[in-house]
Amino acid sequence: SGKIMRRLLRDIAEGRELGDTSTLVDPAVFEAIRTGGN
């Protein structure tokens, strides 16, 4: 949901560990966002 996505993006922006990502289709996307990769 949007609420989960906003929480995860906020965690990345603030340099915090990601919480539960089990509901994501592809959790590797957040590692790419964190490192700036494609």
Tens of pLDDT along the chain (38 residues) come to 788 889 888 988 999 988 888 888 888 888 888 888 65
Q: How far apart are CA 26 and CA 30, in angstroms?
A: 8
CB–CB of 12/24 below 8 Å? no
CB–CB of 21/27 below 8 Å? yes
**Residue 14's pLDDT is what?**
92
The amino acid occupying position 12 is: I
Q: How far apart are CA 12 and CA 37, in angstroms?
A: 14
**Residue 37's pLDDT is what?**
65
Both tokens of 19, joined, read: 């919480």
User: 36: left (phi > 0), else alpha (psi -120 to 50), else beta?
Assistant: left
